[in-house]
Amino acid sequence: MSGVNPVDLQLNGKRALVTGSSSGLGAEIAKVLAAEGAAVIVHGRDETRAAAVAEAIRADGGDVTVAIGDLATDAGADAVQTASADAPVDILVNNLGVYNPAAAWPATSPVEWADIYNTNVVSSVRTIQRFVPDMRTRGWGRVIQISSVLGRLPAASQPHYAATNAARDNLAASLARELKHSGVTSNAVAAGGILTPSAQAYVLDLGRRNGWGETWEEIEPKAISALSPNDVGRIGRPRQYADLVAFLASPLSGYITGATLRADGGWHDA
């Protein structure tokens, strides 16, 4: 079509910190942002795992550094800030999060509730307080929370996880109000199932124990029907989430803020 140019996310010259990016969805987000031209900071607690992700990005021609620190502590967040201090951070993707698929109301103690809230919510507060003021001063930035659809459609299982994801969505909206007219936007991506290697291994084992089949092709649709019905009929692939995050991280998303974008295949029954 005349006058229509291919999409350019305009991430060249931008720098992104992706928390919890030494594996899983965070690693995929870091790789996609780097492929789109952003300089990426891979974060994790395990230096070997983080370095492996960084090396894969570097091998593909990406600009990458590593920041190690436990964001569940102030000292760890300070370490990440120090490791990232050689250049401004334009994009903050708060992906770090933990969950236990087997957690249930009777077996989850108040201490466990507090621990997961600290990791899944307060860790984001720590990074926001350390990196967003500079974005605001410079007049441009993107803050993205990775949450779960369970924050909107909670189930009986994983109650503390669902509660923390509702908090992450509200954190994103509240931050958008705080940052109004600043050039910095704040949004959340509420994910459905994510087909990470660990998730696939868990579902395969569950499916075989429940007689849903032996192969992934047999088990996946039955697992979706039993655990998380959606209109697409499968589990979301990491790249699909990462592409959405890359758009929200780009200048093209400048009219979107305070939003929680659901990417869940049309999840309709938790």
List active site positions.
161
CB atoms within 10 A of CB 165: 28
Residue whose C-alpha is closest to residue 262's, from 225, 230, 233: 230
Residue 180 in contact with residue 163, Cβ under 8 Å?
Answer: no
Closest to 68 in 3D by CA, of 109, 20, 35: 20
Give the integer Cα–Cα distance in Å for 161 and 101: 9
Determine the Cα–Cα distance for residues 90 and 135; give it in Å rounded to an integer. 6
- CA 214/CA 139 separation, integer angstroms: 53
- Positive or negative, the CA dihedral 83, 57, 260, 12 is positive
Contacts of 197 (CB under 8 A, 6+ apart): 24
Order the strands of the 64-68 sheet from edge to edge.
Answer: 64-68, 39-44, 15-18, 91-94, 141-148, 184-191, 260-263
Q: Do residues 108 and 159 lie in contact, with contact meaning Cβ atoms separated by under 8 Å?
A: yes
